[in-house]
Structure 1
Amino acid sequence: MVLTIILAVGFPFLALLLEKSDRLPSFFSAVVLCYAFGIIIGNIAPHLVHESTAEQLAAAGMIIALPMLLFGANIKENWRLAGPGLAAYGLCAVAGLIGTALAAYYFQESQTDGWKVAGMLTGLYTGGTPNMQAIGIAVDAPGDYVVLLQAADIVGGGVYLLMLMTFIHPFLGRFLPSFSTNQSDQQEEDIVQETGKGFRFLPTIISLGVGIAAAGLTYLFTGDIGKNTTLLILLLTTFSLGLSFFPKISNLRGAYVQGEYFLLIFCVALGLMANFQKLLGEGLPLLAFSLVALISTILIHWLLAKIFKIDRDTVMISSTAALYGPVFIAQVTTAINNRRLLAPGIALSLLGLAVGNYLGIGVAYLAKWLLAQF
């Protein structure tokens, strides 16, 4: 049990160091490294893993991480990004909803609980990995699904990210208008810059309080937290977003960084529980599901952008914000030589993190109802 805790809590520190060292390709983010480490240890040396402890660490990691990741979402400030950026992001979210719904319908025979996968992928394609993980907990998806879908996203998402940083820009220029330098007057400050003052671990303490409040209300309303994780995640998201409207909370120093660390603990713990043989057996169908959903989302987004005449730079940044979160915004803006979209891109990704849980859970249960009608 102690060794499991040490592995889950300690490795994220090393993963963050490796990510910042530039010794590995940018594709190997801290999230990917933590998943990979957990899977390797869990399958090469399963005797080192205390499964119930890993399960508890995974649940605690997500519950503590989610509020801190959302504290800086600042919906009021991000809403000012009206115009092409917000419109392009909205079109990407719509494309994600349609793409995952099409995949759920197409694979309904082979993937009986495809509604859960559709909800998780909707969260992934509107807000990123944290949303997918939270929605997986909310819809009570098997723990392996998160790892499998993350692995599938590494394959498909990694290829698309490489395309975004290479030839997609000139390709989209064939049918989308070019970026106008007069249309981006947004603030140049980094949206995720945390300048507030206060006790170093105050974000974690507040996040614990939010988690306890959400769990307490879930128990009060239902009498069982474990079987009502959907309500728990929705309450957790709503409370966190409510707090983000207060400047003293949204500007808490270190909130996003601490939230990211607990998210990485979740990744390691989940990886430790992954059964490699089961991954090989079930991974291919979910890979196919994920690729169909991803390709559909991308193509529909481009089509909608063409219809609404969104410029290619804004389309690429909104797609990066929705599919990958704030981590890769800077890389793509550098690749297309348009730093003006850095701050709006980060803001849009945080906005996606805020709404992704609602969209994903909504799509999951809507897909479940619709599939039952056919």
Structure 2
Amino acid sequence: MIAWPAAVLGLIVAAVLLAERRPALQHFFRWLPVPLWCYALPLLAAELGWLPREPAPYRLLTDQLLPLALALLLLGADLPAVMRTGARALLAALVGAAGIVAGVALGALLLRDALPPDAWKGAGALAGTWTGGTMNLLALRTLLSMPDPLFAPLIVVDAVIAYGWMALLIAASGFQRPLNAWLRASAAPDAAERLSTVPGARAGSSRLRPLLLCGVGAMALALGSRLAARHLPTFLLVSSATGWTVLLVTTAALAFSLAPAVRRAGAHGTLLGYPLLYLVLAATGAQARLDALWSTPAWLALGVIVVLVHGALLLLMGRALRIPLGTLATASQANIGGVVSGPLVGAIYHRSLAPVGLLLAVAGNAAGTYLGLLAASLCRLIGR
């Protein structure tokens, strides 16, 4: 057994990220994404006895790195740019997010006999990742003190549902003419939705100085949030000081991102933020057990219910307001798929929708943790 699990997890994450950059493997990683591998490979290593099962080193890694990763990823969130994507695109994203929360609540009600105890925590985490992303999934796991057997199936379900839904949206792009006719909409996006560039770090600018500034700021936020969390009372939805740390650092980073200077420096934070986030995910995978995946079918059924409710609400709203299919599909994948696949689906419908998909996904990252808490609260009330 390896004595230094943190080093091994770092090597696994580095190997996956290097493999993902190889052109020959990019299509492969499009359908089996990086987060899935960062979770599955440590899980298999632990099952084979190559990594220890003791939770202490993994919990220490998570407690230290997750707040820092969240700060790095959120300090560059360009929320003002999101407001420039156009009223119909924003409305589609909001209705899509509402559909996910409603679908999770309905699915938890219909499947309450098939889902495990405390399923409201897992349902809230899925709502968080399908309105935001992996960052929100991990944040909610910590906020809700989710046990590993409950968390393990969620990674598989997240990947299957998100990429299955993306395949359906891509296939629907071949039927834009009849579907837009049913929606009573034109195929072209609104002028306000035509964003030729995505705000962020300037091309050719030096990355070192803003990266250092972002790193120092993120560490200060994480440390300040951790100190403040020690003095706050816990309750059911925020059941530990670590949970409070996650919630405080999320809120503080979003507040600071409204300052243009902070946002410009924070745009470089993803260079460190995503590797740290994947390291937290790897630590989570090392604590999981394969036998926990037996509950996956029930969670997959919940995922199907969620996307059906989400899709139905978007189509009804689109028909009522004559919103074109491209805008609906871009907002939908920005919800469920996130910052990688949202722009991809948008570009398939209309090249000008790619930056819209990215900005809507960024907004989802900002709101996903809060929406996940809302969904968890609803599911807990339903399960009483």
TM-score (norm 2): 0.88
Query: Which of structure 1's runs of 4+ aligned residues deviate more than 4 A?
Result: 46-50, 194-197, 223-226
Distance in structure 2 (CA, Å) of the matches to 1:366 and 1:229: 23
Aligned identity (percent) is 22
Render the CA deviation track for 1:89-141: whole Å, top value 9, x for unaligned.
11101111111110111122333323212211221121122112211211111
**Alpha-carbon contact 2:327-2:346 (below 8 Å) kept:** no
Aligned to 2:172: 167
Question: Counterpart amino acid of 2:355?
Answer: A
- SS class of match (2:279): helix
Aligned to 1:3: 4
Aligned to 1:272: 286
Partner of residue 58 from structure 1, selected from 46, 62, 75: 62
Partner of residue 35 from structure 1, selected from 23, 35, 39: 39
Partner of residue 141 from structure 2, selected from 117, 133, 136: 136
Partner of residue 258 from structure 1, selected from 267, 272, 294: 272
**Alpha-carbon contact 2:100-2:127 (below 8 Å) kept:** yes
Given the alignment of the two structures, is residue 238 of structure 1 paired with residue 251 of structure 2, yes or no?
yes
Aligned to 1:215: 226
**Alpha-carbon contact 1:196-1:248 (below 8 Å) kept:** no
Change (3 A) 1:261 1:27: same
Aligned to 1:81: 85
Aligned to 1:347: 359
Distance in structure 2 (CA, Å) of the matches to 1:174 and 1:38: 49
Distance in structure 2 (CA, Å) of the matches to 1:148 and 1:357: 19
Distance in structure 2 (CA, Å) of the matches to 1:226 and 1:101: 22
Change (3 A) 1:91 1:21: same
Stretches of structure 2 lacking an aligned partner (at least 5 in a row): none
Distance in structure 2 (CA, Å) of the matches to 1:181 and 1:283: 38
Distance in structure 2 (CA, Å) of the matches to 1:166 and 1:124: 23
**Alpha-carbon contact 1:164-1:316 (below 8 Å) kept:** yes
Could you tell me how far 1:349 is from its partner in structure 2? 0.7
Aligned to 1:180: 188
**Alpha-carbon contact 1:165-1:335 (below 8 Å) kept:** yes
- SS class of match (2:68): helix
More moved, 298-307 vs 187-196: 187-196
Distance in structure 2 (CA, Å) of the matches to 1:45 and 1:175: 56
Q: What does 1:264-303 correspond to in 2, within 5 Å?
A: 264-279=278-293, 281-303=294-316
Aligned to 1:114: 119
Change (3 A) 1:102 1:189: same
**Alpha-carbon contact 1:152-1:286 (below 8 Å) kept:** yes
Could you tell me how far 1:311 is from its partner in structure 2? 0.9
Aligned to 2:371: 359
Distance in structure 1 (CA, Å) of the matches to 2:55 and 2:376: 28
Could you tell me how far 1:190 is from its partner in structure 2? 2.2
Q: How many residues align?
A: 370
Aligned to 2:199: 191
Distance in structure 1 (CA, Å) of the matches to 2:138 and 2:8: 20
Render the CA deviation track for 1:295-345: whole Å, top value 9, x for unaligned.
332333223322332210001110111111111234223333x11112221
Aligned to 1:92: 96
**Alpha-carbon contact 1:166-1:335 (below 8 Å) kept:** no
More moved, 88-97 vs 282-291: 282-291
Change (3 A) 1:101 1:265: same
Distance in structure 1 (CA, Å) of the matches to 2:297 and 2:190: 46
Could you tell me how far 1:3 is from its partner in structure 2? 2.7
Change (3 A) 1:371 1:64: same
Provide the aligned C-alpha RMSD in A.
2.5
Could you tell me how far 1:168 is from its partner in structure 2? 4.7
Change (3 A) 1:268 1:257: same
**Alpha-carbon contact 1:68-1:204 (below 8 Å) kept:** yes
Render the CA deviation track for 1:36-87: whole Å, top value 9, x for unaligned.
2122212123555553212222333322111111112122332222321111
Change (3 A) 1:288 1:50: same
Question: Counterpart amino acid of 2:197?
Answer: E
Could you tell me how far 1:19 is from its partner in structure 2? 1.5
**Alpha-carbon contact 1:132-1:146 (below 8 Å) kept:** no
- SS class of match (1:326): coil
Distance in structure 1 (CA, Å) of the matches to 2:82 and 2:321: 22
Distance in structure 2 (CA, Å) of the matches to 1:102 and 1:368: 12
**Alpha-carbon contact 1:203-1:254 (below 8 Å) kept:** yes
